[in-house]
Amino acid sequence: MSEQERTFVMVKPDGVQRGLIGDVISRFEDRGLKLVAAKFKQIDRDLAEEHYGEHEDKPFFDGLVDFITSGPVMAMVWEGQDAVRQVRGMMGETDPAESAPGTIRGDLGLDLGRNVIHGSDHEDPGSNEREIELFFDDEELVDWERVDETWLYE
pLDDT at 124: 84
The whole-model pTM stands at 0.95
Would you please indicate which residues are annotated as catalytic (active-site) residues?
118
Task: Cite the beta strand spans of 24-108 per DSSP E.
Answer: 34-41, 73-81
Using one digit for the tens of pLDDT, what is the confidence trace for 71-81?
999 999 999 99
CATH code, domain carrying 113: 3.30.70.141
- In sign, the C-alpha dihedral spanning 64, 65, 68, 70 is negative
- In sign, the C-alpha dihedral spanning 105, 60, 83, 133 is negative
Q: 87, 28 in Cβ contact below 8 A?
A: yes
Domain assignment present for 120: yes
Going by the annotation, the residues of the binding site are 12, 60, 88, 94, 105, 115
Going by the annotation, the residues of the binding site for ATP are 12, 60, 88, 94, 105, 115
Domain assignment present for 16: yes
Measured between alpha carbons, how far is 28 from 86 in angstroms, rounded to an integer? 9
Structural domain of residue 16, as residue ranges? 4-141
Using one digit for the tens of pLDDT, what is the confidence trace for 29-55?
999 999 999 999 999 999 999 999 999
pLDDT at 1: 43
- Residues sharing a CB contact under 8 Å with residue 104, sequence separation 6 or more, in sequence order: 24, 27, 90, 91, 92, 116, 117
Using one digit for the tens of pLDDT, what is the confidence trace for 74-110?
999 999 999 999 999 999 999 999 999 999 999 999 9
